[in-house]
Amino acid sequence: MNLRSDKTKKGITRAPHRSLMKAMGLTDEEISQPFVGVVNSWNEYVPGHIHLDKLAQSVKAGIRYAKCTPFEFHTIAICDGIAMGHEGMRYSLPSRETIADSIELQVQAHQMDALLLVPSCDKIIPGHLMASARLNIPTIAVTGGPMCPGFVNDSKVDLISLFEGVGRYNVNEISEDELKILENFACPGAGSCAGLFTANTMGCLTEALGMSLPGCGTALAVEAKKHRIAKESGMKIFDLISSDIKSRDILTYDAFENAIMVDMAIGGSTNTSLHIPAIAKECGIKLDLEIFDEISRKIPHIVSIRPGGSHFMEDLERAGGIQAVMSKLRTKLNLDVLTVTGETLGKNLEKFKIINPEKNKEVIRDLSKPYHKEGGIFVLKGNLAPDGSVVKVGAVNEKMLKFSGKAKVFDCEEDTNDAIVKRKIKAGDVVVIRYEGPKGGPGMREMLQATSALAGQGLIDNVALITDGRFSGGTRGLAIGHVSPEATEKGTIAIVKDGDVIEIDLEKRLLNLKISDDEIKERTKNLKSKKKILSGVLKRYAASVTSANTGAIFE
């Protein structure tokens, strides 16, 4: 078997290299075996990652069982929840590219033969998959898995309960003691926050892409099942190496279509419209924002999980997880795509059996009885978003599908949050948050604090929010993000004034500012640019990043 790693270890001229390997305690037999990089995003600051050190041990046990040699190294990982609502959130999306670059550097410098990815959470999973696509070597991902929900007052709760709890406290709906109880019990331990927010959406879509073993995406972080999957993934990597099955053999256009179909069926985070195109780009595949809308019109929304519904990720796991979802979608999916099992998606689904049929019927509906007849994400266009915007329609109250109101305009998230806390936002308002796009933020911050505060005040079904930034996967309500072009690029959102009427029609996919074309041109002509003084990572990021409708990628 010809190995990439032979360049670093084979022949007389590589005696110095082997000596350095032996300095780490490697034997001749270990050196002769395929080298597998175990890319771990473990750290001590992110609950979604706090357990990944142990999960990586299971991965490495499986790799050694398969007569390969594991080498663990780490990537950074930012917790969006902890970064939320302040300057720190500007660094979250840029970390995706840094993660991908760091993996490429480590793997290419040492010419590893294959990868076992052990990521969790929002930007980290996409960064790992982008690197895998870029490197195009045999790869299996073992995503970290969902957190269990917390339990307060005989009800399940999660992180969003806390964010909305702050809003409830600010309007004297709950006491400080009640908020403290939520704080103590909402997040009970390791894993990605318990609803279908961005982290768990990306874990699910990794499985849907065929890049992780069946069952991985929803296997809970704290359960032994996750460790069994980790060991099996390590054991399977040799088969991919010997069969020369590389990442791009799996990450095909049809596989990306499958992932978007699953995304629409489960009502995942709008952030997938950034991450899926970014991963596809690394494969040389162009995915326009329009494909999300095209597929949304064809795939019904059949799973309703927090924040849009009452179920949690553990319910989806008990109902059969992503394999069960894909079984329901079987007639729609591209079944001939290859997966990391070495077999096609169709073959995998033939082996799948539902062990909790009643839970399955409750959590994953049949295509004939969906929650919504169309998918969970809509792409809106109009004169306010000529290049597109996105909304998680599965988390929008049906009475808000058509909405018209007067704009209240803010040039940053902090001013918005301050206005909400001071009760300056009223029912019927359209809150516009701009200069928070990929370039303008920079970093395209998520606005979970704003939406959660409005929910806590009882306004989430009476107010619309629009931004060129992003909304968290945990956001509910009429929250429209990724407005493109962004304000910094002189998009229409930059010329909206307080009191302007904004019209939203989700069914027709429209987002319009109700002023004339001539007025838009006149305001744009007189628009003064707003430039921020930047340094370091954010300065480089703002200079390189493209628009949200292209995935906020680097050209």
387, with CB counted inside 10 A (0-12, 13-18, 19+), is middle
- Find tokens 């195009």 and name the residue: 136
Q: Dihedral sign, CA of 342, 124, 389, 296? A: positive
Strand-by-strand arrangement of the 69-74 sheet: 69-74, 35-40, 114-118, 139-141
First to last CA, the chain: 36
- 């409005």: which residue's tokens? 454
Q: Active site residue: 5, 95, 102, 472, which one?
A: 472
The SS3 assignment for 75 reads coil
Alpha helix stretches (DSSP H) within 297-341: 313-318, 321-328
Omega within 30 of 0 (cis) for the link into 485? yes
What tokens does 128 get?
A: 């790992």
Question: Does residue 433 sit in helix, strand or coil?
Answer: strand
Would you call 472 a catalytic residue per the annotation?
yes
CA 354 – CA 320 distance, rounded (Å): 6
Contact predicate 431/463, CB 8 Å:
yes
Structure tokens at 232: 């099996």
d(CA 295, CA 473): 19
Q: 3-state SS string over 146-188?
A: ECCCEEECCEEECHHHHHHHHHHHHCCCCCHHHHHHHHHHCCC
Query: Exposed, middle or buried, 168 (CB in 10 Å: 0-12/13-18/19+)?
Result: buried
Tokens linked to 262 = 């699953």
Do β-strands 114-118 and 139-141 pair in parallel, antiparallel, or remain unpaired? parallel
- What percent helix, strand, coil does the chain show, rounded to 5? 45, 15, 40
Residues with a known catalytic role: 472
